[in-house]
Structure 1
Amino acid sequence: MTGMPADPRQRRAARHAQLDSAPPRPRKQPITADRITDAALQVIAAEGYDALTIRRVTALLGTAPSSLYAHILTKTDLDDLLIGRLFAEIELPEPDPAAWRDQLRAVYGRIRDQFLAYPGVARAALAMVPTHLETLRVREGLLAILLAGGVEPQTAAWALDSLTLYVSAYALERSLVQQHKHHDDWVLSREDLIERFSALPADRFPNTRRHAAELTSGTGHDRFDFTLTLMIDNLARGKRH
């Protein structure tokens, strides 16, 4: 063959020299819990929580599902990572007995905003027993605020569950409304609702007709702030004396 050494040893050396001069192949990044979480949040931010599957995550990472099993075994494990990542961004104040109500509202407002940034992700928090250290850190901080406010431990424990459930449900509802609007589903405006309520039979729906404006009032987080404040202020009945 023209240009190739006749001696087999020289030919072998020439092949090795070609291999040595070839650019090295880029190493694949190792699969880690952080990279899995990053990919999952990327899916949710772009397509919503309903689109999140193990297959979608592995496609983004360019790997096979089996490579994830060292870090997660089920979708619930992935949910735990997601909520832990979001809660890692939550800053907790030093519990202040004089400002515990405001502190609770502020922390839960941050949790709400974290959930709303990733449409539908609140669903991951609704039926999950928290095990991630960051999730437990935030729960510990919230419990400390309640206790600092003089709320009885049993009342504080149940209040923590109730407040967290409300915030998760609120964020999920908001994401569903946005999803309907995005897909041009039938979403009534406030004006449409008032018109429909006002047209109901007066003998069967007198209060709905009379108070249609009040029933449909509130913009942005008005109702969220109202309900959270109502729940927190009512905890004074369970305070230690």
Structure 2
Amino acid sequence: MPVDPKQRRAARHAQPADSAAQQTRRKAPITVDRITDAALEVVATQGYDALTMRSVAGMLDTGPASLYAHVVNKADIDELIIGRLCAQLVLPQPDPAAWREQILDVCAQIRDQYLQYPGISRAALAMVSTNLDVMRVSEGMLGILLAGGIEPQTAAWAIDALSLYVSAYALEHSLVTQRQSKAGDDWVLSRDELVSRFTALPEDQFPQTRRYANELTSGTGHERFDFTLGLIVDNLTRTRPPA
């Protein structure tokens, strides 16, 4: 029986098993921006530990070899993803009257960016980056501190100290969250359990820990973060680097 011409036309225009969107994604050229997008998606959905050349390539429906025409290695991707996050930060015009609030706000922005991507602050640790987006943030922070009358050497080291603390804080937060998400993992204790354990310690060996158990375990949200940054920033005007 002859096939109806409409059926023939429908067959020619029928999509294969893969959707048109999937075909378009596969055929789209690999670029640095797409590699960065894919890397951030890996971290957002699977955590930083899952970030490899292979996992990024998988997000792009290609093989790892395809990435090497655009990036050098995994460390290069680390710099790209931190650069992408830095590009999204809003840097103020340095104001001598508001420099303290400005520097704390920039640090809080960096913290919030890191917390969106579990463990991503590891990529920033021990990185001396020449990525322009990363350097834009360092330049902005330096300008804020200098506007506040901080000595240049003190300001330079302060940026390093603040960056290290923000990265460490975000990393600890991601590790705790990761452990809390695992059923049966009892390494992360509630505050009530910590207080109970501290107050049960032998009094002759741990008198201060028992007495100040509530103080030792206090702090909600980002209170400890704000406290520590405040300690650093409030001492900058009194700090002098060694000669």
Whether the TM-score (by the shorter chain) exceeds 0.5 is yes
Identity %: 63
Amino acid at match of 1:138: V
Deviates more, 1:27-36 or 1:115-124: 27-36
* Aligned equivalent of 1:116: 115
Amino acid at match of 1:68: L
What SS does the aligned partner of 1:76 have? helix
For residues 73-120 of structure 1, what are the alpha-carbon distances to aligned partners after superposition, in whole Å with 9 as ceiling and x for unaligned? 211100000000001110100000111000011010000000000000
* Aligned equivalent of 2:202: 201
* Aligned equivalent of 1:156: 155
* Aligned equivalent of 2:63: 64
Write out the 4+ residue segments of structure 1 that deviate beyond 2 Å after TM superposition: none
Deviates more, 1:66-75 or 1:38-47: 66-75
Amino acid at match of 1:136: M
Structure 1 gap ranges (5+):
1-20
Amino acid at match of 2:205: R
Amino acid at match of 1:202: E
What SS does the aligned partner of 2:163 have? helix
Q: CA–CA distance in 1 between the matches of 2:138 and 2:69?
A: 27
* Aligned equivalent of 2:101: 102
Q: CA–CA distance in 2 between the matches of 1:231 and 1:66?
A: 45
Q: CA–CA distance in 2 between the matches of 1:49 and 1:69?
A: 20
Q: CA–CA distance in 1 between the matches of 2:64 and 2:178?
A: 29
Q: Is the counterpart of residue 215 in structure 1 residue 216 in structure 2?
A: yes
Q: Is the 8 A contact 1:103 1:145 kept in 2?
A: yes
Q: CA deviation at 1:22?
A: 8.3
What SS does the aligned partner of 1:219 have? coil
Q: Is the 8 A contact 1:76 1:128 kept in 2?
A: no
For residues 153-189 of structure 1, what are the alpha-carbon distances to aligned partners after superposition, in whole Å with 9 as ceiling and x for unaligned? 1111100000000000000000000000011311210
Q: CA–CA distance in 2 between the matches of 1:175 and 1:199?
A: 29
* Aligned equivalent of 1:133: 132
Q: CA–CA distance in 1 between the matches of 2:47 and 2:203?
A: 42
What pairs with 1:40-79 in structure 2 (closer than 5 Å)? 40-79=39-78
Q: CA deviation at 1:238?
A: 3.5
Q: CA–CA distance in 2 between the matches of 1:130 and 1:168?
A: 15
Amino acid at match of 1:192: E
TM-score, normalization by structure 1: 0.88
What SS does the aligned partner of 1:201 have? coil
Structure 2 gap ranges (5+):
1-11, 15-19
Q: CA deviation at 1:70?
A: 2.0
Q: Give the number of equivalent residue pairs.
A: 221
Q: CA–CA distance in 2 between the matches of 1:63 and 1:132?
A: 26
Q: CA–CA distance in 2 between the matches of 1:209 and 1:191?
A: 13
Question: RMSD over aligned Cα, in angstroms?
Answer: 1.9
* Aligned equivalent of 1:14: none
* Aligned equivalent of 1:92: 91
Deviates more, 1:26-35 or 1:146-155: 26-35
Q: Is the 8 A contact 1:120 1:172 kept in 2?
A: yes
Q: CA–CA distance in 2 between the matches of 1:45 and 1:216?
A: 30
For residues 26-67 of structure 1, what are the alpha-carbon distances to aligned partners after superposition, in whole Å with 9 as ceiling and x for unaligned? 661111111001111111111110111110110110112121
Q: Is the 8 A contact 1:143 1:160 kept in 2?
A: yes
Mark the structure with the bigger radius of gyration.
1
For residues 105-145 of structure 1, what are the alpha-carbon distances to aligned partners after superposition, in whole Å with 9 as ceiling and x for unaligned? 10100000000000000000002111211110011000100
